[in-house]
Amino acid sequence: MMLRGFFGNKNRDKKTQQKTAPSVPEKKATQTRSPKVSKPKTEVKAKLKPWSLDEYKVAPEEGKTRFHDLGLEVSLVHGIADLNYQYCSEIQAESLPHTLKGHDVIGKAATGTGKTAAFLITIINDLFNRPIPKSERFSSEPRALIIAPTRELALQIEKDAIALTKHMDIPVYSVLGGIDYQKQKTHVRNEVIDILVATPGRLIDFLNSGDLYLDQLDFLVIDEADRMLDMGFIPDVKRIISRCSKVEQRQTLLFSATFSEDVLNLAKRWTTNPVFIEIEAEQLTTDTVEQKVFMVPADEKLKIICSYIESNDVTKAIIFGNRRDETRRLESTLKAKGIKAALLSGEVPQHKRIKTLDQFKSGQIEILVATDVAGRGIHVDGVSHVFNYNLPEVAEDYVHRIGRTGRAGKTGVSISFACEDDAFLLPEIEKYIGMKLTCEYPDYLLD
């Protein structure tokens, strides 16, 4: 773990300084943003019985930070307790004392270490402590914006935010491509939103059409910044940030699994005197995942993976491929063998992707065939196997892929297929994860 002042030593506590609202350009006098008039959805929450911290019993443990110890609002702690969280993860324990005081933070930690909860807890606690009467709020003006690179990650963040605000009146909403445009447009135009989660493309659509305004933001979060850069979203993110409240009038949090020099240079421009927190994983892959590499001819991959699934009675697995045509062919072959399989890739409409994920989580679908669009942001319990039908071209993606199994203390199996087309990628993967992978020749599967 490394913690230091970053890009300067001047400290800033935005929670204690006077915040001045950005001046409203004259052109907005002609805009048709209306005060919120629909009835707040507080009826169910109002009927909940009183809850106290006495009901959330977590014993103190040396070296660990309890959520009790952070001075969070009781209603937020209630939501945390409902999710069965007890102790902060390392990135949460290191970042929350700074973010809760209003400091900008750049956080680096591996996927699956709790970065999402770190920034959501900060946002929710602050918004609850500094409520703005609904009579003074306008639709189309969120107070917090979270930008995510993929639709799946955006939906997961929205789900987590809704769970944490279960006992609070803090509206959460997401805007992303592939889902009914008009439905989203109607919601952002007519409803007050506190926390908005968005993918860059759809957010820019609504900014350009005048359906969303970001000049009243208290929080800006950029999640998976390295992925944003890899996917070519940085120009879009720059356009979005140009429409946000000024950097000194908002709190900016930037979290990622890795930071290149390019990402750090961007972060310097988007934050003010941030604290830089880096959680170095002892190892990039977990001991709960058994990792194997099958050395196979390219034309035997399909036969071998189908044989393995059938002979080992695999009923909940993800197969990652690099190319859409291969994943389509694999899905078709599995279905022909009577295996309940479905495809998850960028070409699949978003509404179908959501349905597919729900069916996979419930067990209606046994094998999910996916491109790397599902590599991050997908949290499904009980995945027993992850197959790399193709070795990933980026070593980091190997870690994200196999991280879909061996979760929540359970064990999992990762099997990667290496052939004459991609075996040369193995050394780079082994170098990145810091370990030698066991290679086998699975001839017995062809018997």
What CATH number should be reported for the domain holding residue 304? 3.40.50.300
**Angle CA 160–91–197, to nearest 5:** 30
Helix and strand counts by DSSP (H, E) for the chain: 15, 15
Q: ∠205-258-100 over CA atoms, to 5°?
A: 75
Question: Hey, what amino acid is at 306?
Answer: C
Asked if 205 and 295 sit in the same domain, the reply is no
What's the rounded Cα separation, in Å, for the pair 23 and 296? 64
Q: What is the pTM of this model?
A: 0.68
Please report, for residues 58, 63, 88, 162, 316, the alpha-carbon distance to residue 80 in angstroms, rounded to integers and kept in the order given. 12, 20, 11, 11, 28
Do 197 and 302 share a structural domain?
no
Q: Which of 287, 7, 229, 255 is nearest to 114 (CA)?
A: 255
Q: Among 298, 293, 239, which residue's Cα sits nearest to residue 420?
A: 298
Q: What is the 3 state secondary structure string of 240-277?
A: HHHCECCHHHCEEEEEECCCCHHHHHHHHHHCCCCEEE
Residue 88 to residue 75: CA distance in whole angstroms: 17
C-alpha distances (whole Å) from 36 to each of 184, 189, 314 are 16, 10, 51
The CA distance from 241 to 222, in Å, is: 10
From 278, 301, 334, give the residue that closes a domain. Answer: 278
**Identity of the amino acid at 189:** R
- Supply the range of the domain harboring residue 438: 289-446
**Do 241 and 345 fall within a single domain?**
no
Q: Is 131 helix (H, G, I), strand (E, B) or coil?
A: coil
Using the Cα atoms of residue 398, residue 400, residue 152 and residue 149 in order, give the sign of their dihedral: negative
Local mean pLDDT, 10-residue blocks, the chain (447 residues):
40 40 36 44 51 90 92 95 93 96 90 87 97 88 94 91 96 91 94 96 95 96 85 89 96 86 85 90 68 91 90 92 87 91 83 87 92 68 92 86 81 92 90 86 61
Strand 144-147 relative to strand 219-223: parallel, antiparallel, unpaired? parallel
Report how many domains make up the chain. Answer: 2
Amino acid found at 286? T
Asked if residue 198 is part of any domain, the answer here is yes
Is residue 28 assigned to a domain? no
Give, as one character, the DSSP assignment of residue 345.
S
Residue 232 lies in a domain: yes
pLDDT at 225: 86
- Within this chain, do residues 335 and 207 fall inside the same structural domain, yes or no? no
Residue 110 forms part of a structural domain: yes
User: Do 181 and 46 share a structural domain?
Assistant: yes
Specify whether the CB–CB gap between 74 and 124 falls below 8 A: no
Asked if residue 154 and residue 262 are part of one domain, the reply reads yes
Both 303 and 246 in a single domain?
Answer: no
Residue matched to tokens 């900060």? 122
Q: In sequence order, which residues have a C-beta less than 8 Å from that of residue 298 and are 6 or more positions away?
A: 419, 420, 421
Q: Phi and psi (nearest 5°) for 221?
A: -120, 130
Q: Is residue 283 part of a domain?
A: no
Q: Which two tokens stand for residue 408?
A: 């929540």
Task: Please tell me whether residues 65 and 205 are part of one structural domain.
Answer: yes
Residue 356 lies in a domain: yes
Cα dist from 339 to 294, 314, 336, 365, 370, whole Å: 22, 10, 7, 9, 16
Kindly state whether residues 122 and 164 are assigned to the same domain. Answer: yes
pLDDT score of 241: 95
> 190 and 165, same structural domain?
yes
Domain final residue, candidates 252, 278, 304: 278
Q: Tell me, what's the pLDDT at 407?
A: 75
For residue 347, the one-letter residue type is E
The Cα 34–Cα 21 span in angstroms is 18
What three-state secondary structure class fits 122? helix
> Residue 222 has which token pair?
């950029």
Residue 301 sits in the same domain as residue 242: no
Kindly state whether residue 24 falls inside one of the protein's structural domains: no
Same domain, 172 and 231: yes
CA-based angle 191:358:187, to the nearest 5?
10
Residue owning tokens 């069916």: 359
Domain annotation covers residue 417: yes
Boundary-marking domain end, from 243, 278, 313: 278
SS3 342: strand
